[in-house]
A = this chain, B = another copy of it.
Amino acid sequence: MKSKILLPADRYFDPEPRQNKIAQHLYAAVANLPLVCPHGHVDPRMFADEDYSFGTPVDLLIIPDHYVFRMLYSQGIPLGHLGVPRLDGGQVETDHRKIWQIFADNFYLFRGTPTGMWLTHELHSVFGIDQKLNGESAQDIYDQIAACLESPEFRPRKLFERFNIEVLCTTDMATDPLDHHRAIHKSGWGGRVLPTLRPDAVMNIDSHGWDKHIHALSDISGLEIKSYRSFIQALENRRAYFKENGATATDHSTLTPYTEELSDLEAEIVFQRALNGQASAEDATRFTGHMLMESARMSIDDGLVMQLHPGSYRNHNPLIFERFGTDKGSDIPTPTEFTRNLRPLLNKYANNPRLTLILFTLDETTYARELAPLAGHYPALKLGPPWWFHDSLQGMLRYRQQVVETAGLYNTVGFNDDTRAFPSIPARHDLWRRVDANWMAGLVARGIVDMADAEEMIIDSAYRLAKQAYKLDQVQ
A residues at B contact (CB < 8 Å): 1, 3, 6-8, 10-16, 18-19, 70-71, 73-76, 108-114, 117, 132, 313, 316-320, 329-335, 337, 339-340, 343, 346-347, 351, 353, 362-365, 368-370, 372-379, 381, 389-390, 392-395, 398, 401-402, 404-411, 443, 445-450, 452-453, 456-457
Contacts and interface: CB of A to CB of B under 8 A. Distances in A.
B379 A395 contact: no
A452 B335 CA distance: 38
Contacts of A364: 365, 368-369
Given A329-B377, A333-B370, A109 B10 contact: no
B347 A373 contact: no
A360 to B, nearest CB: 14
Given A111-B453, A333-B370, A364-B369, A11 B448 contact: yes
A69 to B, nearest CB: 10
A446 B13 contact: yes
Contacts of A407: 74
A404 B116 CA distance: 12
A377 B74 contact: yes
A376 B70 contact: yes
Contacts of A13: 446
Contact of A12 (B313, B394, B447): B447
A75 B379 contact: yes
B408 A389 contact: no
A446 B6 CA distance: 11
A18 B8 CA distance: 14
Given A11-B447, A317-B346, A398-B401, 12 more contacts: A12-B447, A70-B377, A112-B449, A113-B404, A316-B347, A317-B378, A330-B377, A334-B337, A335-B337, A335-B369, A364-B368, A368-B390
A6 B454 CA distance: 13
Contact of A394 (B329, B343, B401): B401
A99 to B, nearest CB: 18
Given A16-B15, A313-B339, A370 B332 contact: yes
A446 B14 contact: yes
Contacts of A392: 405-406
Given A113-B404, A317-B377, A339 B347 contact: no
Contacts of A363: 365, 369
Contact of A362 (B369, B378, B457): B369
B405 A394 contact: yes
A109 to B, nearest CB: 5
23 contacts: A6-B447, A11-B446, A11-B448, A12-B447, A74-B376, A75-B411, A76-B379, A110-B408, A111-B457, A112-B457, A117-B448, A316-B343, A316-B346, A317-B378, A320-B351, A332-B370, A333-B373, A334-B369, A335-B337, A335-B365, A364-B368, A365-B365, A368-B389
Contacts of A346: 316-317
Given A3-B450, A6-B450, A339-B313, A112 B443 contact: yes
A416 to B, nearest CB: 18
Contact of A334 (B16, B340, B398): B340
B369 A447 contact: no
A389 B450 CA distance: 23
Nearest to A9: B447
Contacts of A112: 404-405, 408-409, 443, 448-449, 457
A292 to B, nearest CB: 17
A337 B369 CA distance: 13
A449 B209 CA distance: 45
B74 A379 contact: yes
A8 B3 CA distance: 35
A15 B446 contact: yes
Contacts of A317: 346-347, 351, 377-378
A394 to B, nearest CB: 5
A116 B435 CA distance: 22
Given A11-B446, A112-B443, A313-B339, A395 B408 contact: no
Contacts of A408: 71, 74, 109-113
A291 B354 CA distance: 45
**Which one of A363, A369, A401, A453 has the greatest number of beta carbons of chain B within 10 Å?**
A369
B372 A389 contact: yes
